Amino acid sequence: MASRRGISRIAHWAAVAAVTAAAAAPCSADTLEEFYKGKTVQIVIGFAPGGAYDLYAQLLSRHLPKFMPGKPTLIVQHMPGGGGVKGTNYLYNVAARDGSVLGMPYDAVALMNVLTPHKVKYKATEFQWIGSALQVAYALVVRNDSGATSFDALTRREAIIGTSGKGSLGFVFPSMLKWATPAKIKLVLGYRGSSETLLAMERGEIQGTVLAWASLKTLKGDWFKNGFARPIVQFGTKKEADLPDVPLAVDLATTADAKAVAKAVGSVSLVGRSFVLPPKVSADKLAMMRRAFDRMVKDPEFIAEAKARHGDLSPVSGAEVQEAVAEAMKLDPVLAAKARQAVLGEP
């Protein structure tokens, strides 16, 4: 017969096991409904209002709740700094992990994790990817009065290119182009997001910038109709359908190493306008968010508003983005060192 002390210990560990099992068990639909009903959920983005990230975050804030249990209120919280790094660091290290906070990491989240692991404070593979509303190709656009209105012209005349910070693809791409080709580029940093950069270009403070082509068409489509500006180089893995005559950076690279780096850097644009949950949010909430996102991007009302606001859509599932990020993080160390030197000028 077991002693009272033995029975007590058995009862104790049985209770612990029960509590642990309950905590690990996925929430029911009713529990998710109870959690989200009447709750305010934050969407953290690392850029100032008015830019391309803000456009997709605002669309999500209005349409995702329709497909979530409890139909919570979603609000956008802007946290600009470091070309998106500040907001991404916050999502990884500070944001609540109960499903009440989601966010949009900057496009270069995986690339910069590889290039500058000593500077970023996150692991891109540990974010829980909900999905991407848009796969993004980038373009270098310049004012038509800059004197550098083609890539060939850019090899003869320097252009002043503005961007936010070293963590942004708006810095990474022109910096890589400068290293991989004879392009003459002077980079000016410190603008708080795309809206400030575009305004600076209109004012003549800078002669060009690099942004997502879809965003440029959305925000400044008239530039390319009235002759104010033109795209001269595009970045990514393939040409945009409406830019058949604009060269890809990888095709302009002058050495095998430069081509390899350009290809690796361009591949991360597949992250696009993605949404994530912080690490360690429960699996049932991630699954719910992914289902809600997948339903939202097929919803006629969402598609209609995106079209009305000139927001392109090319949705990618969360599982696909998660896989793409994992692949980007596998960049060969030797190639990563070359890319670090090429893009950031660091050993």
Tell me, what CATH number does 109's domain have? 3.40.190.150
Tokens standing for 215? Answer: 């965003």
Residues 6+ apart with CB under 8 A from 311: 55, 56, 59, 133, 134, 214, 218
pLDDT at position 236, please?
Answer: 81
86 with 97, same domain: the answer is: yes
143 with 91, same domain: the answer is: no
Stated length of the chain: 347
Judge whether 137 and 269 are in contact, CB under 8 Å.
Answer: yes
273 with 223, same domain: the answer is: no
- What is the C-alpha to C-alpha distance for residues 164 and 33, in angstroms, rounded to an integer? 40
Q: Which conformational region is residue 247 in: left (phi greater than 0), alpha (psi within -120 to 50 degrees), or beta?
A: beta
Any domain includes 8: no
44 with 143, same domain: the answer is: no
Any domain includes 106: yes
Any domain includes 112: yes
pLDDT at position 29, please?
Answer: 61
Task: State the DSSP H helix or E strand holding residue 278, giving kind and residue range, or none if neither.
Answer: none
Any domain includes 285: yes
Taking alpha carbons only, the member of 117, 10, 91, 96 closest to residue 275 is 91
204 with 252, same domain: the answer is: yes
221 with 258, same domain: the answer is: yes
The whole-model pTM stands at 0.71
Any domain includes 306: yes
Taking alpha carbons only, the member of 254, 324, 276 closest to residue 130 is 276
Q: How many domains does the chain have?
A: 2
Domain that holds residue 153: 138-268
201 with 309, same domain: the answer is: no
What single letter denotes the amino acid at residue 32?
L
Residue 217: give its domain's CATH number.
3.40.190.10
Q: DSSP assignment of 181-203, as one string? A: SS--EEEE----SHHHHHHHHHH
Tell me the three state secondary structure of residue 305.
helix
Any domain includes 16: no
Judge whether 165 and 107 are in contact, CB under 8 Å.
Answer: no
Judge whether 341 and 263 are in contact, CB under 8 Å.
Answer: no
Last residue of a domain, one of 217, 244, 268: 268
Any domain includes 82: yes
pLDDT block averages, 10 residues each, the chain of length 347: 44 40 50 95 94 93 98 97 90 97 91 82 96 92 97 97 84 92 95 91 97 88 96 90 94 89 76 94 97 98 95 91 85 80 74
pLDDT at position 148, please?
Answer: 96
259 with 183, same domain: the answer is: yes
Q: How far is CA 156 from CA 167, 184, 228, 271, in A?
A: 28, 7, 21, 33
Q: Which residues of 128-142 are buried (b: 16+ CB within 10 A; e: fewer)?
A: bbbbbbbbbbbbbbb
Helices 29-36 & 283-296 angle (0-180, nearest 10): 80
257 with 282, same domain: the answer is: no
Last residue of a domain, one of 219, 236, 268: 268
289 with 183, same domain: the answer is: no
What single letter denotes the amino acid at residue 75?
I
